[in-house]
Structures are given as structure tokens and as C-alpha cells.
A and B are shown apart, each in its own frame.
Chain A
Amino acid sequence: MSHANEFSSFFPAVFALLLAPLLLGVINRTKAAFGGRCGPPLLQPYYDLRKLLGKGAVYSRTTSWVFRAGPIVALAATVAAVLLVPFGPCGAPLHFAGDLVLFAYLFGLARFFTVAAALDTGSAFEGMGASREVFFSALAEPALLLGLVAVAKATIGGAGGFELTGLHQHVSGALWLDAGLVLLFVAVALFLVLLAECSRIPVDDPNTHLELTMIHEVMVLDHGGPDLAYIVYGAALKLWLLSALVVSVVVPRAPHPWLDLGVSLASVFGLAVVIGVVESSMARLRLTRVPQLLVGAAVLAVLALVLESHT
């Protein structure tokens, strides 16, 4: 909170809204570098979004309003979540006790409408993707919530309410010495949640074109034009938010606000490179192994919470 007055509290939201697609560009460039290609331009996701927004949309006659509402509600929920996440030296535009629960369930709302839209098409493949998405996110949710609660207890002792901004401002080098293992476990758990929620490689392959193995991508097959743009942009925002969350747990606050901002930006893009490296160096897990990974993440979060409460 110390530097909050120097920066407008809308900075985190502006950064997220402007820079989120760049994160996708960085991941793609990293993967291209591993594959020995030079890859698409860093700004390619922006060009794609502009192209999609310029197109018209086609709707099947079997779909209802649910199908059209899906991408819009999902994007709206994600943008609402943007308002809750602090970044670098600035607190979030909106913060109150217990906002981390709202944060988790705004993603839940977005997912519910994406899934409902997928089921609305009546396609068998989309139904399959929807059931997988729901199953995996049900396993990822405890890891996310328990992990955040563990950090909240470590930072503000649960006294200031479970508030993302308060949690974020209290991560310091001293805390790492004091409760380093708790932070480490939560960081690993949140990173696994990020990979699962943003449909990245050990869980889902964002580039796959085989419907049988897809999870997230198969649910949005029938969307086109501006709707697809909303979905792609929403996914980029989600990636940015979860990366910012992981970074805010791992990276201690720097003493100077500008330095803090620079370090936070660098670490978010560094995390994108790490995701690119994970995607290039790992194969996708068998679908039956994915729950094990997510249960592992939840167990790490539980362990962190127990260790923290036991102190």
C-alpha cells in the first residue's frame, strides 16, 4: 500500500487489457525458437484479433441465445476479474475482504457460459470437450482457492480479510526467509493451475486440431468472427491474470515503485517464456493422468496451508 498513491489504481487493469495478447505472442515466439523457426511476429495476436473483429459471424439455426451470450458473458466476467488483480506497485482498482473468492468464481461464471454455449450447439465433440473442461476445472479450483488462502494466511495472517491486494503488498524478501516453503508450494500449485486453466501443454494443447484430444479448443469450434475474437482475447486476459497472480506470490515487492513495476512486468513475460519452454520440452499428459497432476497441485496447496497454520 505504501506506493499506491503514486500510481493510479487503474494501472493494473490498463496493463492487463493492453498487454495480455502480447503474452501469447511471447509464448509462440519461445516455442518457435525451440523448434528452430523464427515464428510469427510478437504482435501477431493483435493482428489476429483485428482480423476476427472485422469479420461477420455465422450462427447455426439449431443454436439459441445461449450460444451468442457465451463469449460475451465470458469476456465480461474476465474483464471484471481484471479489476480485482493487483500488479507491481499498484493495488487493484477494486479490493475488499474476500475478493479472492469472487476472483475464483468469476472464472467459474465465464467457464459456465462457455460450457453452456458449447452444449447449445448440440455437437458431440463439443459436449465431450465441455465435460472434460468442467471435470478438470473442478479439480483445479480447490488448488487455486486453498493456495491463495495459504498465502493470505502467511502474509496478512487472515486478519485483514482474504484480500488479493493486501496479500500482494505483503510478499517480501523477509517473508521468503520466514515462510519460503509455503510460498514455494503455493507458487508451484498456482503454476499448475495456470497451465490447466489456460489449456497449456501438459494438460491441453492449444495448437491441436484433433477434436478427440482437445479440451478448450473443441468447445469454441463453432464460434467465428467477433465471437471468436472475444474468446481469444478472454483467454489472453485469463493467462495474464493468472501469470500476474503467480508472479505476485513469487516476486517480493521491490523498494522503489518504478523498479517494482519493471520487475513485475519482466517476471510476467519471463513466466510466459517459462510456459513456452514447458510447452516445447514436454509432451501432453494422457487424459487419465491429468487429474493426478491437478490433485497433486491441490495437495501441495493443502500442505502449504497446513504448514502455515501449524506455525
Chain B
Amino acid sequence: MPASITEFILIVVMLTNLALLGMGRLRSSIRLVAIQGMVLGALPLLVSTHGLTWPLLVIAAGSFGLKGLAFPWWLTRTLRATNAQREASPVVGPSASTALGALLIVFSFWIGARFQLPPGVPLVSRLAMPVAVATLLSGLFVIVTRRQALMQVLGYLVLENGIFVFGLALAHEEPLLVEMGILLDVFVAVFVMGIAVFHIAREFDHIDVQKLSELRD
């Protein structure tokens, strides 16, 4: 049964990726990434081979709390300080992005089956590799094609979620120290980016990164 719950979670992650690609409103996008973070928080508990241990609980609680609650709260706060409500003119429109998302999924299933994995390491689930690659690529795609600084922060978070799934797929249990280190990095990055977005918004009345090329000192 845990196997099918794992698959269900991985599919939910895939669906949130697709929804994020088709989403225009910043607030809903933040909520989607929050859902993705919460769902992923439960993943370490399910894939563990030695049952529940304290380090595992700390990792799960840490990623659930940070990615599912703290980051969304912080980003929503930042959003309130800016006057941007939606991604007005992305480089690639929502319909085209969703269609490209489907291509990304097909590609990630193709490439996921071709990884030269170290022998003797059982995969967590047959979906783990494709979902990891698809999540990584979706995050990258959002960073490249969206013009609102806040959307790029979300893209960064999704990218990190992809790496998280990738790590879990191979290692089952990452050492607590490594996982906490990554979470701390992401925490600092999002915190700093949030502050940067806030200051950009206060200085220039917008958070459109396309226009930031005109910055001079």
C-alpha cells in the first residue's frame, strides 16, 4: 500500500507542475507550490526502509514546515507589498506552457528510463525518476519564461523540489546533515529573494525583471 501512496504523491507533484505552468495569478501559484511542498514533506516517511526514525521525522517536518507553510506565508507577505497580482505577459503564454509541460513529461519519462543507475540500488518507485526530471525542468521553465520576480522564486522552489525527489529516489534516506544543509540553503535563498523582491517593488513600483535591464547606478 505505501507504494501506491508514493505513486499518488508523485502524480500529485506532476499535476501541480502542470497547473503551475498554466497559472496566471501569483497568489494561486504560491498556493500550488505550497501544496507541492506539503505533499513532498510526507515522501521521506513513505520511502524509508527502516521505518520511522527521528532524523526522518525531522527532515519530513522540516520540509513540510518550510516549503508548505513558511515559504508560502513569506511570499504572500511579499506579494502584498508589491502591486503585482498576476503574471501579465509571460514570454510563453499559459496554454503553450501547459502543452510544453506535456512534452516535458514525455521527455522526462523517456530520459528517466535511460539513466545509468548504480547497480543494486532499488528505485523508490518507477515514477520517481521521471517525476524528478519533470519537476526540475518545469521549475527551470518557469524561471526562464516568467517575467515577474516572484514567479522566478517559485520556479526556484519547484526546481529544488525536483532535486529533493531525485535524491529520495536514489538514496531512500539522505543523511540528516545533508538534508538540513539543503533546507537551510533554500531557506536563506528564499528569504533573501523575498527581501530583494520587496525592495525592487518599493523602488520601481513593479517586479518585472524584463525592465530591470535598464538599471544603472
* Residues in B whose Cβ lies below 8 Å from that of A311: 126
CA distance A181 to B22 in the complex (A): 21
* Residues in A whose Cβ lies below 8 Å from that of B113: 310
Closest residue of chain A to B99 (Cβ to Cβ) is A295
Please tell me if the beta carbons of B109 and A310 are within 8 angstroms of each other in the complex. yes
Give which listed residue, A181, A291, A296, A302, contacts B106 with CB less than 8 A. A302
From 266 to 291 in chain A, residues with beta carbon under 8 angstroms from any chain B beta carbon are 291
Once A303-B14, A310-B126, A310-B130 are accepted as A-B contacts, the answer to whether A292 and B95 lie under 8 Å apart by CB is yes
* Residues in B whose Cβ lies below 8 Å from that of A296: 18, 22, 98
Decide yes or no whether A299 CB sits under 8 A from chain B: yes
CA distance A296 to B127 in the complex (A): 21
* Residues in B whose Cβ lies below 8 Å from that of A302: 102, 105-106
Closest residue of chain A to B130 (Cβ to Cβ) is A310
A-B Cβ contacts below 8 A, count: 42
We find that the number of chain A residues with CB closer than 8 angstroms to chain B is 14
Give which listed residue, B8, B18, B126, contacts A299 with CB less than 8 A. B18
Please tell me if the beta carbons of B102 and A292 are within 8 angstroms of each other in the complex. no
Chain A nearest CB: distance from B23 CB in Å?
Answer: 10
Please tell me if the beta carbons of A310 and B102 are within 8 angstroms of each other in the complex. no
From 21 to 65 in chain B, residues with beta carbon under 8 angstroms from any chain A beta carbon are 22
* Residues in A whose Cβ lies below 8 Å from that of B167: none
* Residues in A whose Cβ lies below 8 Å from that of B102: 298-299, 302-303
We find that the number of chain B residues with CB closer than 8 angstroms to chain A is 20
Please tell me if the beta carbons of A306 and B126 are within 8 angstroms of each other in the complex. no
From 1 to 31 in chain B, residues with beta carbon under 8 angstroms from any chain A beta carbon are 7-8, 11, 14-15, 18, 22
Decide yes or no whether B194 CB sits under 8 A from chain A: no
Closest residue of chain B to A301 (Cβ to Cβ) is B102
* Residues in B whose Cβ lies below 8 Å from that of A181: 7-8, 11
Q: B14, B15, B98 — which one has the most chain A CB atoms within 10 A of its CB?
A: B98
Once A303-B14, A303-B105 are accepted as A-B contacts, the answer to whether A292 and B94 lie under 8 Å apart by CB is yes
Give which listed residue, A299, A306, A310, contacts B98 with CB less than 8 A. A299
Chain B nearest CB: distance from A274 CB in Å?
Answer: 21
Chain B nearest CB: distance from A303 CB in Å?
Answer: 6
Chain A nearest CB: distance from B6 CB in Å?
Answer: 13
* Residues in A whose Cβ lies below 8 Å from that of B127: 307, 310
Q: A296, A298, A309 — which one has the most chain B CB atoms within 10 A of its CB?
A: A296
The list of the 10 closest CB pairs from A to B, nearest first, reads: A299-B102, A302-B102, A292-B95, A295-B95, A291-B95, A295-B98, A306-B109, A295-B99, A292-B94, A299-B98
A-B contact pairs, 18 of them (CB 8 A): A292-B94, A292-B95, A292-B98, A295-B95, A295-B98, A296-B22, A299-B99, A299-B101, A303-B14, A303-B15, A303-B18, A306-B105, A307-B11, A307-B127, A309-B109, A310-B109, A310-B126, A310-B127
Sample of 12 more A-B contacts, CB < 8 Å, known A299-B99, A306-B106, A310-B127: A181-B8, A292-B94, A292-B98, A295-B95, A295-B99, A296-B98, A299-B101, A302-B105, A303-B18, A310-B126, A310-B130, A311-B126
